[in-house]
Chain A
Amino acid sequence: MRQVAVVGIGKTAFGAFPDRDLRSLAVEAGQKALENAHAQPSQVEAFHLGNFAGPSFVGQNHLAPYVASAMGIIGTPATRFEAACASSGAAFFHAVSAVAAGLYDVILVTGVEKMTSQSTPKVTEILAGAGDLCGEVRAGATFPALFAMIARRHMYQYGTTREQLAAVAVKNHQNGAKNPLAHMRKIITMEQALNGKPIAEPLTVYDCSLISDGAAAVLLAPLERAAEFTDKPVRVLGIAQTSDYVALDEKDDITTFRAVKTSAEKAYKMAGVKPSDIQFAEVHDCFTIAEIIAIEDLGFVTKGEGGPYSLAGRTCLQGELPVNTSGGLKAKGHPVGATGVGQIGDVVQQIRGEAGERQVQRNSLGLAQNLGGSGATSVVTILGAA
């Protein structure tokens, strides 16, 4: 297997952009990634697009060649990957696999979602399509409701509190306020977070990630060719994608995501590192409880300690393990299909030392965790300085 490097990153701002269509967002991110790698569209040998629900949100199908051709990438394989909120994580995993196998040298991976042209109930309904439509969704489950039921059970089994959940939101808003591309660049207080409008009890609006438009892209190449594109290549040291049941009521224990644990174990093994070696992480905080469970399932803390660890401030920018220095899905925004590749770009930015006000000092080994649905897809990636 060949070593694979990220040689270019690009991202649009995340937010609500009524004047922008899906394709223009995806093209902007892709062009920025190419420019960042001093690469031409003609050098791209395959195009992978992560997108959850373009056909439902904007009615457009056949998205990958639609985006690739608008960038001047014509004649290559151009394929859309769908794995709910892990769509671009999956697109990235399969791109890394293809470069590692020697099938292609240069692959552009883009993630995009255009969500804000629909009403909130309609967005809620489209997102619920990542759950089991014949069971939980028919009964009235939304994604906030599924994660609310996860939170309730986590509180019951481990004593996790509302304050511990709110601490995740407060911390991610602090980081997001420092990120020029974040959807919501404002800090919130613990009091605000605790007294937000209820969405699905015990979760309030401050426990939920944002409905956003946006795109992100990365350019991959074999490590031995990385110098052609950049003097700051970042290596993919370990990566794994795993799966589990879609419906929450089919999982034995809903306070843990089995797919996250298995993908993390495989990624750690491939990279030859332990959880305690990881210096910072971008995790999938679609809801505050998801960040607490992520740091447990990734092995950073023991099961049930995610809440106290978060409330104690140990995951904040100056803490021993900074988590979601980008602001996370909570403050940076969650254009679903863009999230996985966006996280990779955020980790790469830290490793390159280009994170500005959010820069962490221990930045040579980072992890990104992208979750699909209520845990049916997980992609864990470990990145390091080359």
Chain B
Amino acid sequence: MNNLGSGTVYTETVVWSPPQEYVNDVPYQLAIIELDGGRRITGRIDGDRAQIGDRVAFSDFRNNVPFFRKSQ
């Protein structure tokens, strides 16, 4: 899988009422990331919570889901 590089949080939420598949993950942060190339992708934020406008970097794919971390 590609490294998606860095991007900016376009929007985000923290999910408390999950679908059956993710009942063990709550609460988790879901976000739409605007990648530096301009494309938007929906993924998870790992670690510190991020807000709209925050810079994030791609971390890894888990079960085909892209995870990002807030850039320091």
Tell me the A residues contacting B by CB distance below 8 Å: 119-122, 124-125, 128, 135-142, 144-145, 148-150, 152-153, 156, 197-203, 247-250, 254
B18 partner, pick from A140, A148, A152, A197, beta carbons under 8 A: A140
By the criterion CB–CB under 8 Å, are A135 and B41 in contact?
Answer: yes
Most interface-central of B10, B19, B65 (chain A CB within 10 A): B19
Most interface-central of B11, B25, B41 (chain A CB within 10 A): B11
By the criterion CB–CB under 8 Å, are A201 and B13 in contact?
Answer: yes
Range class of the B interface residue count: 20 to 34
By the criterion CB–CB under 8 Å, are B19 and A140 in contact?
Answer: yes
The 5 A-B residue pairs whose C-beta atoms are closest, nearest first, are A148-B13, A125-B19, A121-B20, A136-B42, A153-B11
**What is the minimal beta-carbon distance from B4 to any residue of chain A, in angstroms?**
13
By the criterion CB–CB under 8 Å, are B52 and A145 in contact?
Answer: no
Q: Is the interface of B mostly helix, strand, loop or mixed?
A: strand
By the criterion CB–CB under 8 Å, are A249 and B15 in contact?
Answer: no
Apart from A149-B13, A201-B14, A254-B11, list 14 A-B contacts with CB within 8 A.
Answer: A139-B30, A139-B65, A140-B15, A140-B25, A140-B65, A142-B15, A149-B11, A149-B31, A149-B32, A152-B12, A152-B52, A156-B53, A199-B16, A200-B13
By the criterion CB–CB under 8 Å, are A138 and B65 in contact?
Answer: yes
* A120 surroundings in chain B (CB, below 8 A): 17
A140 partner, pick from B11, B40, B44, B53, beta carbons under 8 A: B44
Within 8 A of A (CB), among B6-65: 10-23, 25, 28, 30-32, 40-44, 52-53, 63-65
**What is the minimal beta-carbon distance from B60 to any residue of chain A, in angstroms?**
13
By the criterion CB–CB under 8 Å, are B11 and A128 in contact?
Answer: no
By the criterion CB–CB under 8 Å, are B30 and A125 in contact?
Answer: no
Q: List 5 A-B contacts (CB under 8 A).
A: A121-B20, A138-B65, A140-B28, A144-B15, A254-B11
Most interface-central of B13, B15, B53 (chain A CB within 10 A): B13
By the criterion CB–CB under 8 Å, are B42 and A247 in contact?
Answer: yes
Q: How far is the CA of A254 from the CA of B11 in the complex (A)?
A: 9
A125 partner, pick from B12, B21, B63, beta carbons under 8 A: B21
By the criterion CB–CB under 8 Å, are B10 and A153 in contact?
Answer: yes
Q: How far is the CA of A298 from the CA of B41 in the complex (A)?
A: 28
* A122 surroundings in chain B (CB, below 8 A): 20
Most interface-central of A139, A153, A197, A200 (chain B CB within 10 A): A139
* A202 surroundings in chain B (CB, below 8 A): 13
**What is the minimal beta-carbon distance from B1 to any residue of chain A, in angstroms?**
14
Q: How far is the CA of A199 from the CA of B27 in the complex (A)?
A: 10
By the criterion CB–CB under 8 Å, are A198 and B16 in contact?
Answer: yes
* B11 surroundings in chain A (CB, below 8 A): 149-150, 152-153, 156, 254
By the criterion CB–CB under 8 Å, are A142 and B66 in contact?
Answer: no
* A148 surroundings in chain B (CB, below 8 A): 13, 15
A248 nearest CB neighbor, chain B only = B32
By the criterion CB–CB under 8 Å, are B30 and A145 in contact?
Answer: yes
* A128 surroundings in chain B (CB, below 8 A): 19
B53 nearest CB neighbor, chain A only = A156
Most interface-central of B10, B17, B52 (chain A CB within 10 A): B17
By the criterion CB–CB under 8 Å, are B41 and A140 in contact?
Answer: no
**What is the minimal beta-carbon distance from A105 to any residue of chain B, in angstroms?**
44
Known interface pairs A153-B10, A249-B41; A144-B17 also in contact (CB < 8 Å): yes
Q: How far is the CA of A120 from the CA of B18 in the complex (A)?
A: 9
By the criterion CB–CB under 8 Å, are B18 and A124 in contact?
Answer: yes
B19 partner, pick from A121, A153, A197, A198, beta carbons under 8 A: A121
